[in-house]
Homo-oligomer: A and B are copies of this chain.
């Protein structure tokens, strides 16, 4: 296998640059074919690299500035080309790196990635996607917040990109696709949703479209890809996270109630640990901006080195599995059908 070269925004995230370098170390131990370029304050990066086992000779690109996590997008963009985030993305644009990973400010990462890498030919709106744990399999959900307002064509393109993402990362042959709605009946929901359903169900598309799904269906794992607008997707993802946190906290409290429950915890510890690992947000770390001329992966800002290493793995898998050509082919294949159907809808 050939080398995959990743640009890492070493200054992004709550515990940067420590977690970024430790995470790269964990990833490199598992996959020696990875090469890293650390972008950020070289004086702060060097000590960590010198203590690392696998990264002693890694490249550093110095950046004087960084994007703060609480900065708004326009401030971050105005800061310009001297930030570690901008410079890391520039490596992908220049073709010197295959993908970029950052745990920094999501809005800024999206805006600066879009500015530099530009949307792929034919992609109207890039989208943020990630995988969620379910009862059966991991489900790819998108958009998670890049596009607050969406139309029919956006949703259809999200379905195409989500399917390619699922093929690249999980090796699913023919990903099943559901459109998130408030009911499974055909007449439910926004008009642009029903129009998207009509297009996706068109057999000429050759998509494995399964129909509308509801919020309860996301975690059932009946679908490989759940498509929605960025507002709803963001709320759904965060509501799932909040609910999981609530139950986990209640469970912790329950196990601390008495001597008996503490003994119970000791007896069940291994099983509880396995359960937690299925829900572990670190395992599912790594949201991707799909639809750009380059791969940009966003890590959770507060993750640890295990989580960061997973975000690196997502970026590497996308590179190695040819995600970009897959999406481009799918877009070309579907462009004519989609256009015909969208135009006929507008004329009707």
Taken together as a complex, chains A and B put the C-alpha atoms of A217 and B246 apart, in Å, by 10
Q: Is A285 an interface residue (CB 8 A)?
A: no
Which segment, of A45-53, A77-85, A184-192, faces chain B? A184-192
A169 to B51, CA, bound (A): 60
Min CB distance A235 to B, Å, is: 4
Answer whether residue A238 sits at the interface, using C-beta atoms and an 8 A cutoff.
yes
- Interface contact A134-B267, CB-CB below 8 Å: no
Among B72, B249, B250, point to the contact of A187 (Cβ < 8 A). Answer: B72
Tell me the A259-313 residues at the B interface (CB within 8 Å): 260-261, 263-268, 271-272, 274-275, 278-279
Tell me if A1 is interfacial: C-beta within 8 Å of chain B: no
Q: Which of A178-235 contact B (CB under 8 A)?
A: 180, 182, 185, 187, 189-190, 214-220, 228, 230-232, 234-235
Instruction: For A268, list chain B residues within 8 Å (CB).
Output: 254-255, 260-261, 264-265, 268
Q: Are B261 and A271 in contact (CB under 8 A)?
A: yes
Q: Within residues 62 to 102 of chain A, which ones have a CB less than 8 A from any CB in chain B?
A: 72
Given A215-B236, A236-B239, A241-B215, A249 and B135 contact (CB-CB distance below 8 Å): yes
Which of B214, B235, B241 is A182 in contact with, Cβ under 8 Å?
A: B235
Q: Let me know if A43 is at the binding interface, CB within 8 A.
A: no
A239 near B216: Cβ-Cβ < 8 Å: yes
Note all chain B residues with C-beta closer than 8 A to A190. 148-149, 231
B residues in contact with A258, CB < 8 Å: 271
Q: How many residues of A contact B (CB 8 A)?
A: 61
Q: A257 and B240 in contact (CB under 8 A), knowing A231-B232, A250-B279?
A: no
Q: Which of B235, B244, B248 contacts A235 (CB 8 A)?
A: B235
- Asked if A243 is at the interface of the complex by the 8 Å CB criterion, the answer is yes
A32 within 8 A of B: no
Partner of A185, one of B72, B214, B234, B236: B72
Which residues of B are found within 8 Å of A257, using beta-carbon distances? 271
A218 and B232 in contact, given A247-B279, A267-B263, A271-B255 (Cβ under 8 angstroms): no
Closest 8 pairs between A and B when the two form their complex, measured CB to CB:
A215-B238, A264-B268, A215-B239, A264-B267, A216-B242, A264-B264, A254-B271, A219-B242
Q: Residues of A with Cβ closer than 8 Å to B?
A: 72, 133-135, 145, 148-149, 180, 182, 185, 187, 189-190, 214-220, 228, 230-232, 234-251, 253-255, 257-258, 260-261, 263-268, 271-272, 274-275, 278-279
Would you mind naming 10 contact pairs between A and B with Cβ atoms under 8 Å apart? A133-B246, A134-B246, A215-B239, A218-B242, A219-B246, A239-B240, A239-B243, A244-B247, A251-B275, A261-B268
Known contacts A145-B182, A240-B240; 20 further A-B pairs (Cβ under 8 A) = A134-B246, A135-B246, A135-B249, A148-B190, A189-B231, A190-B231, A215-B235, A216-B238, A219-B243, A247-B247, A250-B275, A250-B279, A253-B275, A254-B271, A254-B274, A261-B271, A263-B264, A264-B264, A264-B268, A265-B268
